[in-house]
Amino acid sequence: MKFKLDENLPVEAAAILREAGHDAMTVLDQQMGGQPDNHVMQICVGEKRTLITLDLDFSDINSYPPSSHAGIIVLRTRKQSRSKVLEIIANLILLLPSKPIEKQLWIVEEDKIRVRE
């Protein structure tokens, strides 16, 4: 799968995804730090990449309807520490082969995943 990691995620998350066989880039890899959300999403759509982010703005299905993109994963953690985020990414990798994400919004919490289509 192809992923774009938002600038609010640790760069090690991309490495974890790559080690699992995924194509993962970060917003910072493309010098897009500080760009508006809609610009980041346009790039993801053009590249057919699923966006992974901590930014709750991307969970607004009126602004980012699931049918308009390759998928969005919004991580919701009690703590946004590096170790907690990396732990959730590692756990998420186990689900990826079994669940389609295209045209979906996943809200990934520590103990559950909510999916919007």
64-102 burial, b for 16+ CB within 10 Å, e for fewer?
bebeebbbbbbbbeeeeeeeebbebbeebbeebeeeebe
- The overall average pLDDT reported for the chain is 93
Confidence of residue 78 (pLDDT cuts 50, 70, 90): confident
pLDDT of 97 over the 90 cut: no
- Euclidean distance between CA atoms 21 and 94, whole angstroms: 12
The strand pair at 50-53 and 2-5 is best described as parallel
Task: Return the residue matching tokens 């520590």.
Answer: 110
CATH for the stretch 2-116:
3.40.50
Cβ atoms of 65 and 103 within 8 Å: the answer is no
pLDDT tens digit sequence for 45-77: 999 999 999 999 999 999 999 999 999 999 998
- Please report, to the nearest 10 degrees, the dihedral formed by the alpha carbons of residues 86, 92, 96, 99 taken in order: -160
Per-residue pLDDT band for 37 (boundaries 50, 70, 90) equals very high
Report residue 77: phi and psi, to 5°. -120, 150
